[in-house]
A and B are shown apart, each in its own frame.
Chain A
């Protein structure tokens, strides 16, 4: 149902300049009042929730369909569960999720090794293609990374040496 001027009679001038054509937000704006404004549409059947699925606290329930890609696990999963205590409007939600993503990279390597698989980082990073099409650029990048890493190690070890002396 569309709101009527009567409902808003306590607000002087409500709706007198309303222009339904001037609506940039919806591709197909409901101008008939046919669609509900509430969360009461005929919902599709609920997918059985047979894996742990975190859901935003900005909704009261699970949607009818959920993805089943990678359920939360390990330390990263604990961090993700913590993140989902906060709304999508909160850094407490997104920053822990980014942290969990990085933690899961380490978990992934540990898992690989535990399964007797040594990840081929060179291949996973696509360095073969990079070397084929831009060997100079790749060499420069690797050399820069090595130099920065070497510099940091040197800095840290010289600090230790100083504190010992």
Chain B
């Protein structure tokens, strides 16, 4: 089969790989129909996540048709068209039982801090990803969910990560009616977080980025205020204080993670020299922009080592910091309802449709923010419905 193949920082290609096999009685094999490149794939692409091995296939946002199931699989059958949450989750450990499907303890040998994630380095379990014609899906009784009749597969594929992650970012903010919410980062997740903040009753939603085309997109898609931190302000923290009656926002969301721009010291130490686990500029701004007693919600992805953030201000301001990988399975029923009722329009985020064979160009487009790229979708050679 054809599969994306990581060859080193900023180098990927498509290669022939053996077809995946059933390795566990609860496995399924799916023929991938849609697969996205995620903003967090760029951390792998740039070589920032330790234990990203040459030869691995990335991809944790995908849908597919079940072509084979293991002996103990009862919840899906051959022929089902399923969306596959990015978490590999057993559904039985103490963390899954409490709705923390992103923190499963039975899916990742290499690290205990994070559960298994498809195609996300060996630090997240070494599971092959879905940027391929076929993928092995462990714990098929838990994760894969049959795409409801009539749902567009382009909507379904974004329910595997972007929508739940954006939604959980807002949920973790504990947004109360009338709150001012600031989202750092106008990538797909940030835009979705801004959109979802309204669902929790926010009174004002502001998004901050440095790419005008993304801000324009966010303004229209998420109905929020949008500001360019390079053009509209000298200092984002002062700017946010000023527009929030000098108190700060009730909730700040970091939807950027390790690739943040905006601070030379963070960029050099975090992105260029890898002396910290990515550039923590957005998180730094979030902590300093939130109101005393406010909540900072983190869904931006950082590496597993250390970051320079103003922890003293967290204490002094009485801030609550919440973060997690989205618990896709827990959120799916509500989010499917939102999509079916037209409350959320996930496929509106897709700007590029790229054949798997051109995956290197897709990564480049997305990483360099070329051609007004918001969300690239990979089309498999064998894509059906």
Residues on A close to B: CB < 8 A? 24-30, 35-37, 39, 41-45, 47-48, 53-56, 58-59, 62-70, 76, 80, 84, 88, 91, 94, 97-98, 100-102, 104-105, 107-108, 119-121, 123-130, 133-134, 137
Contact of B7 among A64, A108, A137 (CB under 8 A): A108
Residue interface mask B201-212, A partner, CB < 8 A = 1: 000000000000
Contacts A27-B100, A27-B327, A125-B360: A56 and B109 contacting too (C-beta < 8 A)?
yes
B53 on the A face (CB < 8 A): yes
Chain B: interface secondary structure? loop
A107 to B55, CA, bound (A): 11
A119 adjacent to B7 (CB under 8 Å): yes
Contact of B127 among A55, A56, A67 (CB under 8 A): A67
**Stretch from B19-27, B75-83, B243-251 contacting the other chain:** B19-27
Q: B50 contacts A98, CB within 8 Å?
A: yes
| Beta-carbon contact of B365 and A101 below 8 Å | no
Given contacts A26-B100, A69-B128, A123-B13, 19 further A-B contacts (CB under 8 A): A25-B322, A28-B330, A44-B24, A54-B109, A55-B110, A66-B125, A66-B126, A67-B126, A67-B128, A70-B54, A80-B51, A88-B112, A91-B305, A94-B303, A98-B274, A107-B54, A108-B54, A123-B360, A126-B363
Distance in angstroms between the alpha carbons of A107 and B349 in the assembled complex = 38
The answer to whether A41 touches B98 (Cβ under 8 A) is no
Instruction: Please determine whether B97 and A35 come into contact, CB atoms closer than 8 angstroms.
Output: yes
Contacts of A30 in B (CB 8 A): 97-98
CB under 8 Å from chain A, chain B span 51-108:
51-57, 72, 88, 90, 92-94, 97-100, 105-108
Of the candidates A65, A130, A134, which one forms a contact with B139 in the assembled complex, judged by CB atoms under 8 Å apart?
A65
Q: Which of B101-140 contact A (CB under 8 A)?
A: 105-113, 116, 122-123, 125-128, 136, 138-139
Distance between Cα atoms of A88 and B327 in the complex (Å):
23
The 10 closest A-B pairs by CB, nearest first: A126-B364, A67-B126, A105-B8, A28-B99, A129-B361, A67-B127, A97-B50, A55-B109, A108-B54, A133-B370
Q: Flag whether B368 is at the interface (Cβ < 8 A).
A: yes
- The answer to whether A108 and B51 have CB atoms under 8 Å apart is no
Q: How far is the CA of A24 from the CA of B55 in the complex (A)?
A: 39
Chain A residues contacting B7 (CB-CB under 8 Å) are 105, 108, 119, 124
Contact indicator per residue, chain B 333-371, by CB within 8 Å of chain A (1) or not (0): 000000000000000000000000010111111001011
Contact B360 A41 (CB under 8 A): no
Q: Mask for B234-276, Cβ within 8 A of A = 1, else 0?
A: 0000000000000000000000000000000000000000100
- Give bound CA distance, A120 to B54, whole Å: 15
A24 near B322 with CB under 8 A, answer: yes
Report whether B56 and A69 are in contact in the complex, using a CB–CB cutoff of 8 Å.
Answer: yes
Q: Is the CB of B25 within 8 A of A53?
A: no
CA distance A149 to B370 in the complex (A): 26
B352: min CB distance to chain A, Å = 10
Interface contact A65-B90, CB-CB below 8 Å: yes
User: Which B positions have Cβ atoms within 8 angstroms of A?
Assistant: 7-13, 23-26, 47, 50-57, 72, 88, 90, 92-94, 97-100, 105-113, 116, 122-123, 125-128, 136, 138-139, 172, 174, 274, 295, 303-305, 320, 322, 327, 330, 358, 360-365, 368, 370-371
A44-B90, A70-B122, A121-B11 known; A126+B362 contact, CB < 8 A: yes
State whether A35 touches B94 (Cβ < 8 A): yes
Which A residues are in CB contact (< 8 Å) with B172? Answer: 24
The reply to whether A67 and B122 contact each other, CB–CB distance below 8 Å, is yes
* Chain A residues whose CB sits within 8 angstroms of the CB of B12 once the complex forms: 124, 126
Residues of B within 8 A of A104 (CB): 8, 53-54
The distance in angstroms between the C-alpha atoms of A29 and B97, with both chains bound, is: 9
Q: How far is the CA of A11 from the CA of B47 in the complex (A)?
A: 49
Query: Which residue from chain A places its CB closest to the CB of B368 in the assembled complex?
Result: A130
Within the assembled complex, what's the spacing in Å between the Cα atoms of A130 and B24? 42
Contacts of B10 in A (CB 8 A): 125
17 contacts between A and B (CB under 8 A): A26-B99, A35-B97, A36-B94, A55-B109, A55-B110, A63-B105, A66-B109, A66-B125, A69-B56, A80-B51, A97-B50, A105-B54, A120-B13, A125-B360, A125-B364, A126-B361, A127-B364
Closest CB in chain A relative to B30 CB, distance in Å = 16
Contact B116 A65 (CB under 8 A): yes
A26 to chain B, nearest CB (A): 5
**Chain B residues positioned under 8 Å from A27 (CB to CB):** 98-100, 327, 330
Alpha-carbon distance between A53 and B109 when the two chains are bound, in angstroms: 8
Q: Determine the residue in chain A with the shortest Cβ distance to B101.
A: A27
| Measured CA separation A76–B363 after assembly (Å) | 25
Residues of A within 8 A of B330 (CB): 27-28
Q: Are A43 and B370 in contact (CB under 8 A)?
A: no
A105 to B304 alpha-carbon distance, docked (Å): 21
CB-CB under 8 A from A108, the residues of chain B are: 7-8, 54-55
